């Protein structure tokens, strides 16, 4: 198995830091490190903006910090994009769009059990980027198929570069928009959505997975052809545990779960401690155990992480950094308790 389990640690990539060196140091403190996304450092680091590099039709206003789409601009730029469609490097992340990415790629990370990258997924990107009529581009039958292939190419070139550093590298597709996918307000049918997601993942090289902090249709997501799924079980653990049959099928296929358990928001973090978080996590595992999922098997296919990203704490990066420290301590505590290698 290329993606490690046994309650090793990783974390979400979006961080509140303005100091690039400090953010990278914190990211490297995880067992499975990643390159940070730093929207407070630069608007180019916003996860939607970062994913939009070279996407035809994008209207980016750095001063107003807005990301829009123009169909007229899409048509005029489409030919240029297609001229580069078979050039993998065209879809990579430039220094303009990330102050950290290429620095991360220069590190020696060969001794880590794995490393990880990430890119905003097409569902969330398509929901959040709107055209001149304030219509999300996800609903455009002309733009959407191109967007799926474009984003898949972006994921694949990043994974290729990461695997040169560490053969066990994998990618998260960040999809917070999946929790709205089948809502009545989405304007996007579930049959089409399922087909598009299956098409998208079929174009992405392995190992591949999804990270989201929301509460989607877990049967749908666990049924996708994923290698790893990262979620906020601090907020959604009780609901997630009710999907035990789908969780079991996912694990039996070789899937890895990343249990986001330490809150990064200031108020809930202040209310918790090591013992309370350990208890919360073990209660979820106990529910799954009563539904037939063996604990030893589950832990062998599990990692730990903070619950969410957080950019709005009054103390800046302090609570987030404390959450990173706590997830490391919780990992060490639980791995010792359960005798994990």
C-alpha 339: how far from chain center: 29
Neighbour count for residue 157 (Cβ, 10 Å):
18
Cα 252 to Cα 26, 223, 227, 242, 257: the distances in Å are 33, 12, 11, 17, 12
For residues 6-20, average pLDDT: 97
- Helices 190-202 and 143-165, packing angle to 10 deg: 40
For residues 263-270, average pLDDT: 97
| Three-state DSSP class for residue 258 | strand
Cα 9 to Cα 112, 233, 269: the distances in Å are 11, 15, 18
Q: Which residue has the higher pLDDT, 188 or 206?
A: 206
228 membership: H or E segment, kind and range:
strand 228-232
Half-sphere exposure of 218 (CA within 13 A, CB side): 24
Q: Are 327 and 304 a contacting pair, CB within 8 Å? A: yes
For residues 125-130, average pLDDT: 94
58-78 confidence digits (pLDDT tens):
999 999 999 999 999 999 999
Burial state string for 50-77 with b = 16 or more CB within 10 A and e = fewer than 16: bbbbbbbbbebeeeeeebbbebeebeeb
pLDDT of residue 185: 55
pLDDT of residue 318: 98
Query: Is 142 a residue whose pLDDT tops 80?
Result: yes
pLDDT of residue 205: 96
What's the whole-model pTM score? 0.95
Helix boundaries (H) for the chain: 20-27, 47-51, 71-83, 101-105, 122-128, 143-165, 190-202, 218-222, 233-241, 244-252, 266-271, 274-290, 295-300, 318-337
d(CA 60, CA 62): 6
Neighbour count for residue 251 (Cβ, 10 Å):
21
pLDDT of residue 156: 98
Q: Are 222 and 250 a contacting pair, CB within 8 Å? A: yes
30-64 confidence digits (pLDDT tens):
999 999 999 999 999 999 999 999 999 999 999 99
d(CA 201, CA 86): 19
Closest CA to 26 of 223, 335, 316, 339: 316
**What Rg value do the Cα atoms of the chain yield, rounded?**
19
d(CA 34, CA 175): 17
Start-to-end Cα distance in the chain: 15
pLDDT of residue 114: 98
| Three-state DSSP class for residue 232 | strand
**Encoded tokens for 294:** 């063996």
The fold for domain 8-42+98-337 equals TIM Barrel (3.20.20)
69-124 confidence digits (pLDDT tens):
999 999 999 999 999 999 999 999 999 999 999 999 999 999 999 999 999 999 99
pLDDT of residue 195: 86
Strands 58-61 and 66-69: antiparallel
Computed over every residue of the chain, the mean pLDDT equals: 95
Concatenated DSSP letters of 301-338:
TEEEEES---S--TTTTHHHHHHHHHHHHHHHHHHHHT
d(CA 227, CA 328): 23
158-183 confidence digits (pLDDT tens):
999 999 999 999 999 999 887 776 66
C-alpha dihedral (21, 267, 216, 324), degrees to nearest 10 = 30
**Encoded tokens for 245:** 């049959």
Neighbour count for residue 143 (Cβ, 10 Å):
23
pLDDT of residue 189: 67
pLDDT of residue 194: 79
**Encoded tokens for 33:** 């490190």
**Encoded tokens for 135:** 């219509």
């Amino acid at each position: 198995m290329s993606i490690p389990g046994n309650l090793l640690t990783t974390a979400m990539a979006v961080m509140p830091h303005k100091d690039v060196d400090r953010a990278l140091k914190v990211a490297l403190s995880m067992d499975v490190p990643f390159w940070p996304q730093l929207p407070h450092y630069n608007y180019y680091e916003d996860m939607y903006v970062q994913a939009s590099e070279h996407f035809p039709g994008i209207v980016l206003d750095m001063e107003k910090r807005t990301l829009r789409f123009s169909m007229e601009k899409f048509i005029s730029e489409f030919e240029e994009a297609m001229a580069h469609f078979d050039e993998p490097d065209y879809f990579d992340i430039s220094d303009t769009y990330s102050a950290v990415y290429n620095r991360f790629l220069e590190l020696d990370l060969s001794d880590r059990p794995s490393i990880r990258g990430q890119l905003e997924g097409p569902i969330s990107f398509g929901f959040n980027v709107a055209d001149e009529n304030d219509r999300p581009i996800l609903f455009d039958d002309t733009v959407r198929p191109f967007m799926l292939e474009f984003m898949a190419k972006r994921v694949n070139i990043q994974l290729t570069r990461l695997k040169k550093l560490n053969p066990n590298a994998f990618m998260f597709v960040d999809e917070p928009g999946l929790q709205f996918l089948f809502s009545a307000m989405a304007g996007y049918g579930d049959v089409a959505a399922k087909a598009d997601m299956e098409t998208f993942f079929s174009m992405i090289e392995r190992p591949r997975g999804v990270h989201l902090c929301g509460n989607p249709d877990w049967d749908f997501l666990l049924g996708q052809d994923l290698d790893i799924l990262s979620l906020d079980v601090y907020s959604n653990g009780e609901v997630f545990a009710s999907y035990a049959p789908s969780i079991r099928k996912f694990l039996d296929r070789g899937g890895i779960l990343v249990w986001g358990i330490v809150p990064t928001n200031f108020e809930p973090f202040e209310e918790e401690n090591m013992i309370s978080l350990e208890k919360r996590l073990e209660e979820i595992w106990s529910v799954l155990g009563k539904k037939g999922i063996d604990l030893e098997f589950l832990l062998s296919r599990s990692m730990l992480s903070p619950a969410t990203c957080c950019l709005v704490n009054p103390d800046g990066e302090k609570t987030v950094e404390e959450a990173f420290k706590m997830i490391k301590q919780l990992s060490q505590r639980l791995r010792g308790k359960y005798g994990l290698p």
